[in-house]
A and B are shown apart, each in its own frame.
Chain A
Amino acid sequence: MIEIALLIGFFCFAIALILNLYRLAKGPSIADRVLALDTMVINGIAILILYGMYEGTAVYFEASLLFAMVGFLSTVAYCKFILRGDIIE
């Protein structure tokens, strides 16, 4: 039962990633693209954790934690750059 649920979860998050990619390619403003990238990171973390459950290993938790941190930092850096024209003042 869990295997089928995992496959459905993979499918849902894969479609979510494609929708994010659409917004990333189309997005009229820079803020739209930053938001799309941020959402892509979150969906990627979800897929990583589902894959860890699928394989039955706990190795992917460290990867997803690092992913979360790098995604947050890059989003904040992008926005800071848009706001101030500089990242570290």
Chain B
Amino acid sequence: MDFLIEAIIAFLIIAAGFFGIVGSFGLAKLPDLMTRLHGPTKATTLGIGGVLIASMLYFIGERGEFSWHELLITLFLFLTAPITANFIAKSFLHRRMSAEERERLPAPGGEHGWATFDAPPVDPEDEAPALAAVRRRKP
């Protein structure tokens, strides 16, 4: 393999290891969950992206063929990381916030409150029939 490609691969692996360790250190060190979320969602995602790019270059250099698996894994992880972060933050808000803490949340800027606490008002015309039946059965 070319020396330059080897150097790039080695650099990518070490940078990825650094980012991975920074993300997990942030997870272990930062004071509360909303700040802790930043470590894994940003630094660790960057770290795994570096590892996958290094692996892609390695298999191009080693066998001369392009493999799609890494792109698939990268795409999947980059798509799912924000979703999991959103879900974890939502469940944290749901479990830990007392009524007066909810008052201190910033205003969402729309017409109704945060979706975790406040169901948005539903237009009866574009509601699914089954859902409308459930809603009508509630007092």
Q: Which residues of B contact A8 (CB under 8 A)?
A: 13-14, 17
Q: Chain B interface: which size bin?
A: 35 or more
Q: Which residues of B contact A35 (CB under 8 A)?
A: 27, 33, 36-37, 40, 88
Secondary structure at the A interface, as helix, strand, loop or mixed, is helix
A49 and B76 alpha carbons, distance in the complex (Å) = 15
Q: How far, in Å, is A51 (CB) from chain B's closest CB?
A: 10
Q: Are A75 and B27 in contact (CB under 8 A)?
A: no
A32 and B40 alpha carbons, distance in the complex (Å) = 11
Q: How far, in Å, is A44 (CB) from chain B's closest CB?
A: 10
Chain B residues proximal to chain A, CB less than 8 Å: 6-7, 9-11, 13-14, 16-18, 20-21, 23-25, 27-28, 33, 36-37, 39-40, 44-45, 47-48, 51-52, 54-55, 58-59, 62, 67, 69-70, 72-73, 76-77, 80, 83-84, 87-92, 94-96
Selected A-B contacts with CB under 8 Å, 6 pairs: A8-B14, A12-B21, A29-B92, A35-B40, A58-B59, A76-B83
